[in-house]
Structure 1
Amino acid sequence: MKDDLFLNNLIGVFATSITTRMETAISALGGRSLSHDSALVLIHSHPGDSIDALRKSLDLTHSGAVRLINTLEKEDLVDRLPSPEDRRAVRLYLTEKGKEQVQTILDVRSKAIESSISELSDEQRAALRDIIETALPKSITDQVEAKRVCRYCDLNTCFETGCPIYHEITSRA
């Protein structure tokens, strides 16, 4: 029991440390806020999603999501295009400038994470990967939560390797 509590503390501190490094590095890019940056990455990962889908993924109110998209659109990072299914709705896409910003965010994120695990041997990295691939998907309840926790993911990398969260969510459907 005591060992479990200690392990819980270690996992919590490690997760907080990585999150702090990542958020600090992304904030240093000079974006308006982490919500803006994570919105860009989500739109990159899910082009054509609605404002409502983005709102749910970022846990924002509808008006908060609209304000966020208004800002990103004014900064020429996001385009709103009419939905082919419903002319009242819009679909979100990145502009070229938005795509460049996302690549910068993903690069900085990757470096921040790497700095947390740089001392691990190849064997330790493989063991960590196995543990995370086993434990993480079981903690995700639905697609909205999957998008929320993957809001800074480089989905191209994940899908090339085999995303454990996507596999878990689709196997439940």
Structure 2
Amino acid sequence: MALRTPVNETDYLFGPTQAPIELVEYGDYQCPYCGKAYPIVKGLLQQVGDQLKFVFRNFPLSKIHPQARMAAIAAEAAGLQHKYWEMHDVIYENQKRLHHTALLEYAASIGLQMDQFTADMEREDLAAKVDGHFYSGMRSGVSATPTFFINGEKYTGSWENDDLLKYIKSTFP
């Protein structure tokens, strides 16, 4: 299945814009499997380097992970202060503590302007962006997290251990 919503200017990119390999992850900040995939993706980014751009899209499974949507909005709010990836990392590194007070602590720890962050957490457009990611994932056939797309095509192999790295290296030598 293909990625129905192409990467665009509303997405936060990690890596060079023109990189030949595009990895999109639909993830949930409270999902234990996404927490397990987080260091794997970080390692992949280090090993593939300038050949890869990474996009994370929010797919909060709110019925089973009630704090995932708020965490996603917190990452988006941090992005308004140019600290999206810092907040993304600190949320995954502290995945077991995602209540509102913890998110405020994380925001302060990465140097966000707290009055702005608190106000931005209430912004309807950020909540709509998170919901939009979720619906774009559903249209692309996402039903579980994490789900990866490589250059617009759904990756159906294992992402665990170095399987994803091996696949990328063999497909894009």
Q: Calculate the TM-score normalised by the size of structure 1.
A: 0.30
* RCO higher in structure (CA 8 A, sep ≥6): 2
